[in-house]
Amino acid sequence: MTVESTAARKTTRSSGTKRTASSATKKTSAKPAAKAQSPQQPQEPELIQLLTPEGERIHHPEYDIDLTAEELRGLYRDMVLSRRFDAEATSLQRQGELGLWASLLGQEAAQIGSARALRDDDYVFPTYREHGVAWCRGVDPTNLLGMFRGVNNGGWDPNSNNFHLYTIVLGSQTLHATGYAMGVAKDGADSAVIAYFGDGASSQGDVNESFVFSAVYNAPVVFFCQNNQWAISEPIEKQSRVPLYQRARGFGFPGVRVDGNDVLACLAVTRAALERARRGEGPTLIEAFTYRMAAHTTSDDPTRYRRDAEREEWEAKDPIARLKAYMENEGHADAAFFEELETESETLGKRVREAVRAMPVPEHTAIFDNVYADGHALVDEERAEFVAYQASFEGGEAE
């Protein structure tokens, strides 16, 4: 699947039917008949796109946006710093400083564009990969790393930034977002709610239940699906026979597919969906068509199920490179801006690295604390067993 430089072209894929020996040797001068399209691989719909992979600005009749040079530089800065933080976190995990990390590499435009469409009073329900959204909501990156290091349970007050704690269970945050949005509507507020999830989570029952409730109750919520093509190791063709955004139609609200590597399009489409929610017109499903250029998490090996050529194809559509090309071509940024940003990027990486290494190591038994308010016999038993197990390693005698 590719994102073309204007609107995505509709293509017909073959059904994959094997040729028989007789058909292979049969000679004919007639043109072969068009092969039937597979129900698992339907025609790809058009994308909402405002910036081509080459950095060419185009316009859309329904979704368009006019940004100043300063605003463009702000979006670029957000993406660059988010990627730098993400790269540092990946390195820290490889060095044993973090237990796990879920990279956002390649999805910066989807996250920054959608997050910068939000108002301060809007509320965000993320998964575990929305590091760029967290950045835009003012969450200190070290708080995210503290969670993946195991020294805190989130580290920030969700109500301070209107940014909920990361959700590991796939899809459950969409129900939380729907319930919160229903409450917002009952309170008479004009704020909106956005829920992030991936293409894999879209197959979860929780997500589909949230679609039902949000539609029936006309909840002011935007469902933002980052379709990064791979649900851990399964391609999207094994999850849905129709493009994901079209699922919204069956629940009674609109869906739209946007070029997830185009920060301008993601900003414009999300802003329109949020405004629609605030007007009381109900939910919208946005499918940001993007690509996960890194592994699902640092415990994953994508080389076992993905082709190198596929990644190379998407690297040519890099969201940061395309905005940089546009700004340079239009004179919206000079060499001094990029140099200063590079310095800021390295400073951020150093700050994050030093902060993580300075984090205290919690007591091993802390995991058993606060499970119950007044203690529990089973937890006490499990704690004792764990302490005995740890003691068996003292002196390095245990195998």
For 350, the token pair is 């150093």
* C-alpha closest to that of 63 among 76, 78, 46: 46
3-state secondary structure 88-156: HHHHHHHCCCCCCCCCCCCCHHHHHHHHCCCCCCCEEECCCCCHHHHHHCCCCHHHHHHHHHCCCCCCC
- Name the residue type at position 364: H
Question: In the block, which residue shows the tokens 């070290």?
Answer: 142
* Rounded distance between C-alpha atoms, residue 77 and residue 67, angstroms: 15
Give residue for tokens 């605003």. 71
Q: What is the rounded distance in angstroms from the CA atom of residue 356 to the CA atom of residue 146?
A: 7
* Of the candidates 286, 290, 267, 305, the residue with the CA atom closest to the CA atom of residue 78: 267
Active-site residue list: 292, 296, 305
360, exposed or middle or buried, with CB in 10 Å at 0-12, 13-18, 19+?
exposed
Q: List, in sequence order, every residue forming a beta bridge with 225; answer none if it has no partner.
A: 197, 287
Identify which of 286, 260, 261 has the alpha carbon closest to the alpha carbon of residue 272: 286
